[in-house]
Amino acid sequence: MFTRAQSLLRHQVLGQEALYRAVDVIGELVELEVVSAPGLEPGTRLRVTKAAVSRMSVVEEAPGEAPASGRRAAVSERDIAPAPGVSH
């Protein structure tokens, strides 16, 4: 699902799209940074469940594009994979 620090997570619902960058994992929660989302300022931090993140699609950033916060994400696919027994 999420394998590189330069990946973005896309959430599409009701004809709208939001892009997030995973920046941290706190237990069963993943901290996301808003890249672009209707009604949210870029750079805003949100915490969502690993199950919610597992339903997002991965989008590759253009080479050399700097993250909104100026730092690379430190989250691996293993960190945000749903816990055993959690269905999608």
* pLDDT tens digits, one per residue of 52-71: 999 999 987 655 555 544 44
pTM over 0.75: no
Residue 5 pLDDT > 60: no
The confidence band for 75, taking pLDDT boundaries of 50, 70 and 90, is low
Domain ranges of the chain: 7-78
Categorize the per-residue pLDDT at 79 as very low, low, confident or very high, splitting at 50, 70 and 90. Answer: low
Q: Could you give the C-alpha distances from 28 to 25, 66, 70, 71, 72, in angstroms and in order?
A: 7, 27, 25, 23, 21
Over residues 17-28, mean pLDDT:
94
Describe the chain by its helix, strand, coil percentages, rounded to 5: 10, 40, 50
